[in-house]
Every structure is written in structure tokens, then in C-alpha cells.
A and B are shown apart, each in its own frame.
Chain A
Amino acid sequence: MKPGEITDFVHDEAWMLDQGQYHDWLELWLPDAIYWMPLNWNQQDPINETSLLYEDNFMLRLRVERLHGARTFSQKPKSRCHHVLNRPRIEEISDDEARVVTQMHYIETRLDEQMLLALTVRHHLKRVEDRIMIAGKRVDILNCDAAFGNIQLLP
């Protein structure tokens, strides 16, 4: 992989989320990939402790389909989101695999409310045929242990 295509990928993925291109976004995920959002700072165990998210393909698809549902009451009206990215730091890189960490500010809004979250986003990327795909994603929220209201979209 080349550094430029990795950083482009991270920016493009955030852009898809901000634009609500969720079906395209789902296509980025490898079948056994997991989206993990820890509940605790420096949490090590995603399985035997509670996390905010620890989602497989089925759950991510459910999330996307639900956002489009006719009776999704908490999305009437819909939320919007916005990511601002720092320059991604590539931590490991080889021909067909990379690990990259990116600091982001995430804004989600609905009705008169707006929320700002500071994120550290870790992507594990793999090249499959000629495409880069997500093998795993970990999103740490700076104040992950704070009491939140609804976080409805995907930081």
C-alpha cells in the first residue's frame, strides 16, 4: 500500500458517513471485521466487559437499514453528522495491509441539539484484490466514560 491511498481512504470513509452514503460505506467492510467503540479509557477486553459498540457485519447492516426505516422514531427528524480529521498517522504499512490512527472531531446534530466528541480512530486496512477494505476499526471517545444522551449515527 502507498501512504497516499491509505490517508485518502480514511478521509473518504469519513466523507461517506457525513454524506449519509451508508450502503456504500457497508461495502468497505470485510465479512469478519468488527467496529469497536470502548466504554472505558484504555479498555483492553471488548468481549467480557461492556463496550459502547462491538459490531459485526450483521449489526452494522441493521444499523444502516434502521436509519432508513419508516418507523424509526428517534430519526424523525433525522440526525446529521460531520467529521473533521487531523492528518492520519500510519503506524504499520506493508504491500497489502496497514494500521493507521487518526484524531478526529465528530459533531452530531438533531433538532436543536448539537454534540461534539473528540475521537481517536484506529483503522486496520487490508487490500483485497484491487480494493482497500476495513479489517477492523476502533474508535476511542475522549470522554468515553461520561454520561451521554443518544449518539445515533456512527462516529
Chain B
Amino acid sequence: MTDETQQIHEVIDRVIRPEQVHRDVYTSPGIFRLEMRHLFPNCWVYVGHESQTPNPGDYITAQIGDQPLLQVRHSDGEIKVLYNRCPHKGTKIVIDKAGNTGKFFRCPYHAWSFKTDGCLLAIPLKKGYQGTGLEGTEAAKGLAAVGAWHNYRGFIFARLAREGIGFDDFFGDSLSSLDNMVDRSPVGSLTVAGAPLRYMHRCNWKMLVENQTDTCHPMVAHESSAGTAVKIWESMDKTEDTPTPPAMEIIAPFMSPYEFFENMGIRTWPNGHGHTGVHHSIHSDYSAIPGYFESMTEAYGEDRAREILGENRHNTVYFPNIMIKGPIQQLRNFIPLAADKTLVESWIFRLDGAPDQLVARTAMYNRMINAPTSMVGHDDLEMYERAQEGLMADGLEWVNIQRLYEEGEDLSQEAVLNGTTERQMRNQFDAWKRFIIGGVA
């Protein structure tokens, strides 16, 4: 072990215990740098969806950790994931969120141009490099590609590191949640619908990821929205024919009692992945959309259609930093910007071949729950930012993640437990520690 490796081992061992973590994991810029250099590059991280780049030359800008990337559809129809950095002087090749570059990228600074697979195409006044040995430099190789990428049923993931764990080994059986989301389309494909919500949080990215399987907060933090919705509805003059407001279907289930969340169950998979809602969830009782079940039955047969739609998984966390909701086709990306700053992008998808009402309900969920203007989001952000500030208190330095902890817990095995366990948070920190150390070993 080098001195640096030894130091990193010591830091990680100091801050992680099985049932509690030191506040430095949320507040320390040094640990944030370790995450950027050693955690994110060694994991498979979400980049974008193939429907964002349907035609050759289409690109989007994205990032993994603090690394600027672009996803582009090459002329051969394949999607590539490249670093968004001119190999000449470092200029970002594109800065808009999405566009079409035609047959090649052209750097706006000195007009070096690159094919859409990144290869160097041309340099103006190239004779100036004759005899300089340019061909032996990394600049001559063009736009650098990331270590590896994989298109899983339309979802593009990348691993920055050249060597490391394979896609299938990293995700294992957790891919069943993504499968279920895609299978809900009668033709088995999704399309991004509209722009994402972009919501800035002055807190550490891991607080957001942990909150996805925190089933003991909704009835407390969201009483002001969900509890008030229930009260208004109860107080209204209504008959049997009064339609239930959409807000009741979407927001009111957040007030479900502890017992509901205990019984819904949590499943964890190795490598930090897991989901709430094994048996039922807050998405279970959504009203049926006319014609949808019929088109699913036609596509899959009745038994399989019932099996697909019978899954009501609530939040599935894909370590390190996304969450998907299969039943409503939503993906939230928790993008780390600093130890105390996180950009949350909330994307929604249309189920190809399904009625419009489904994407309408998904859009409604997104704006009611996850917008910067959302009454539910307001109280979540308030909690995260209070925690980020409160963690600076020196009287106590540890954050507790002990609920339903058992000594000797084996996180390398899939498990299904009481829905209020914090095992998934422990599972994330187990993966966090292993992938940081794996990245420096």
C-alpha cells in the first residue's frame, strides 16, 4: 500500500461503523473529493436515456460526479459516452443541454473537429504540428471516451474507470425494478417526456439518497401537506358523485400510518441497491386508466400483464445516486456538486404504446411532489438543509442508522425485511466503503 492508499483506508475506517456514520461523510470537502476521485468512477452511474438522442448526431450533456460528459448517437446508430472536453485546450465541446451536431463536433475555440465517436477529424493549419510529435500525444486521439458504458433497455449507464466491476455484476437482480418500469409499456420501451425538474439543495447528496427509503418521515415531515389535504377533503360538502381531487390520490397516501410502511417491506440487494414497497406501496391504489390493461393483456397475455402491474415497488435506489419509481415512470438523479450542494433532476417517461393519461398522472406526481414549487418538496428540503447545518454541532458527531439493525448483518445477501428498517441506508454505506477502497487498492 502506498502512503496515500493507507491514508484513505484510515479515513474511511474512521467514519463508517455498521450502525452509525460520522458526520464528516456529509460535511467534509476532503471526503467529497474522495467520492469524486474514487467512488463515482468505480460505480455504474446513470448518464441519460436513449430517447434523448434518437438520431445520429443527437447529443446531451451530462455528468458523473464532477466529470463533464456528453452522450451522443454516432453515425453507426450506437450511443457513445465521451468526456465533454476538447483535447486541445480543455474547452467544453458543447454546453447546451441537448442538440444535434451533424456529422462531427467542432470546437468553438480553434475549430478542431471530431467524429461523433470522438476520433480526431481535422485541425486547421495542421502543418504547424508537422514534426512536433503531436501524433504521439493524447490530444491527437480526440475526445476521450469513458471507461465503459452500457445501454440497458434504453437507460445509459457508464463507468468512468477503465477497469472494474461489470455492469451485470454491479446491478445483479436489482435490474428487476428497471425491467418492471419498461415492461409497463405494451411495446417494452419508454420515451423521456418533457424537461426535468431541476431543484437545488444545499445539502449532501447522500441525504437525498437515504431519504428515498426513509419510511418513518412521510407522516411527520409531510403532515403539513398530506395531512392538510385529508382534512380539507373530509371537511368538504360532497356526495358520492363528487370526484376525488387528484391531490388526494397523489399526496394523501403520504399520511399513511407507520403500520402501512412497516408492512410494505424493504428489499436490499448487494452493492448498495434496494427498494421500498415489496408487498404494497403508496402507489398501489391509483385508479385504473381506461384501455391500458386491455393493451397490456394484448401484448403480454393476461397472467403476465397482471404480474407486471401487480408490482407496486415504491422507490428503488440504484447506488450511488439515482432513484426510480416503476409504477409511475419517474427517475430522480441526485447530482453531487459539493459536500453541501446537490442538484436534483426529476425526469418522467412516457410508456410507449400506452394511453396519455398515464404520462399525465406521472407529470402530476412530479410537479406535486418533486418541484421547487411543491409543498411536499419544501418540507423535505427544509429537513435536509437543517441537517446540513445541524451536523456542524460538535457536541455529537455521529449519525444514527440503527433502526432494526442486527449484529453481523450480511449485506452481501439479498434480504426482505420490515419496511421501516434502515438496512438500505447501511447497505449504501457498505457499498460506499467498498467502492471507495476498491478504487484506491
Distance in angstroms from A98 CB to nearest chain B CB is 27
Contact A62 B229 (CB under 8 A): yes
What mask results when residues 40 to 67 of chain A are scored 1 for a CB within 8 Å of chain B, else 0?
A: 1001010111111110101101110110
**A94 to B340 CA separation, bound complex (whole angstroms):** 54
Pick from B121-129, B159-167, B374-382 the stretch touching chain A: B374-382
Contact A58 B373 (CB under 8 A): no
Chain A residue at minimum C-beta to C-beta distance from B335: A147
Distance in angstroms from A134 CB to nearest chain B CB is 18
Distance in angstroms from A110 CB to nearest chain B CB is 10
**A66 to B377 CA separation, bound complex (whole angstroms):** 13
Contact A58 B245 (CB under 8 A): yes
Choose one: A48, A56, A74; the contact of B382 (CB below 8 Å). Answer: A74
Choose one: B251, B363, B377, B378; the contact of A48 (CB below 8 Å). Answer: B363
* Majority secondary structure of chain B interface residues (helix, strand, loop or mixed): helix
| Chain B hits for A148, CB < 8 A | 198-200, 372
Q: Does B343 contact A (CB under 8 A)?
A: yes
| Chain B hits for A43, CB < 8 A | 194
Q: A58-B247, A74-B379 are in contact. Are A49 and B224 (CB under 8 A)?
A: no
Distance in angstroms from B19 CB to nearest chain A CB is 27
Choose one: B194, B224, B382, B383; the contact of A69 (CB below 8 Å). Answer: B224
Distance in angstroms from A26 CB to nearest chain B CB is 12
Chain A residue at minimum C-beta to C-beta distance from B225: A66
Contact A152 B194 (CB under 8 A): no
Which residue of A50, A61, A63 has the most chain B CB atoms within 10 A of its CB atom? A50
Choose one: B195, B221, B246, B359; the contact of A39 (CB below 8 Å). Answer: B195
Which residue of B227, B348, B366, B375 has the most chain A CB atoms within 10 A of its CB atom? B375
Contact B228 A52 (CB under 8 A): no
Contact A50 B197 (CB under 8 A): yes
Contact B381 A149 (CB under 8 A): yes
B189-203: which residues lie under 8 A (CB-CB) from chain A? 193-202
Q: Does B288 contact A (CB under 8 A)?
A: no
Choose one: A40, A50, A63; the contact of B367 (CB below 8 Å). Answer: A50
What mask results when residues 11 to 38 of chain A are scored 1 for a CB within 8 Å of chain B, else 0?
A: 0000000000000000000000000010
Contact A66 B228 (CB under 8 A): yes
Contact B356 A48 (CB under 8 A): yes
Q: Does B139 contact A (CB under 8 A)?
A: no
Count of A-B residue pairs with CB < 8 Å: 117
Distance in angstroms from B431 CB to nearest chain A CB is 27
| Chain A hits for B62, CB < 8 A | none
Distance in angstroms from B365 CB to nearest chain A CB is 9
Contact B195 A50 (CB under 8 A): yes
**A37 to B201 CA separation, bound complex (whole angstroms):** 21
**A152 to B377 CA separation, bound complex (whole angstroms):** 10
Which residue of A48, A54, A65, A151 has the most chain B CB atoms within 10 A of its CB atom? A48
Q: Does A86 contact B (CB under 8 A)?
A: no
Contact A146 B198 (CB under 8 A): yes
Chain A residue at minimum C-beta to C-beta distance from B380: A74
**A145 to B371 CA separation, bound complex (whole angstroms):** 12
Q: A66-B225, A147-B199, A148-B199 are in contact. Are A73 and B360 (CB under 8 A)?
A: no
Q: A62-B375, A147-B343, A151-B372 are in contact. Are A40 and B360 (CB under 8 A)?
A: no
Contact A56 B245 (CB under 8 A): yes
Q: A74-B379, A145-B195 are in contact. Are A151 and B373 (CB under 8 A)?
A: yes
Contact B247 A50 (CB under 8 A): no
| Chain B hits for A59, CB < 8 A | 245, 247, 368
What mask results when residues 67 to 102 of chain A are scored 1 for a CB within 8 Å of chain B, else 0?
A: 001011111000000000000000000000000000
Q: A50-B346, A73-B379, A73-B383 are in contact. Are A147 and B198 (CB under 8 A)?
A: yes
Chain A residue at minimum C-beta to C-beta distance from B346: A50
| Chain A hits for B251, CB < 8 A | 62
Contact B373 A37 (CB under 8 A): yes
Distance in angstroms from B150 CB to nearest chain A CB is 27
B166-209: which residues lie under 8 A (CB-CB) from chain A? 193-202
Contact A73 B363 (CB under 8 A): no
| Chain A hits for B377, CB < 8 A | 150
What mask results when residues 135 to 156 of chain B are scored 1 for a CB within 8 Å of chain A, else 0?
A: 0000000000000000000000
| Chain A hits for B383, CB < 8 A | 73
| Chain B hits for A54, CB < 8 A | 364, 367
Distance in angstroms from A43 CB to nearest chain B CB is 8
Chain A residue at minimum C-beta to C-beta distance from B200: A147
Q: Does B430 contact A (CB under 8 A)?
A: no
Distance in angstroms from B191 CB to nearest chain A CB is 11
**A37 to B197 CA separation, bound complex (whole angstroms):** 13
| Chain A hits for B196, CB < 8 A | 50
- Besides A54-B364, A63-B375, 14 new A-B residue pairs in contact (Cβ under 8 A), listed by A number: A37-B373, A39-B367, A48-B193, A53-B371, A56-B245, A58-B247, A65-B228, A65-B232, A69-B223, A69-B228, A146-B198, A147-B199, A149-B202, A149-B381
A-B contact pairs, 15 of them (CB 8 A): A40-B195, A47-B356, A47-B363, A48-B193, A49-B194, A49-B363, A50-B348, A51-B363, A58-B247, A66-B228, A73-B379, A74-B378, A74-B381, A75-B224, A149-B372
9 A-B pairs with the lowest CB-CB distances in the bound complex, closest first = A49-B194, A74-B382, A72-B224, A147-B198, A148-B372, A58-B245, A74-B378, A147-B200, A52-B373
> Which residues of chain A have a CB within 8 Å of any CB of chain B?
37, 39-40, 43, 45, 47-54, 56, 58-59, 61-63, 65-66, 69, 71-75, 145-152
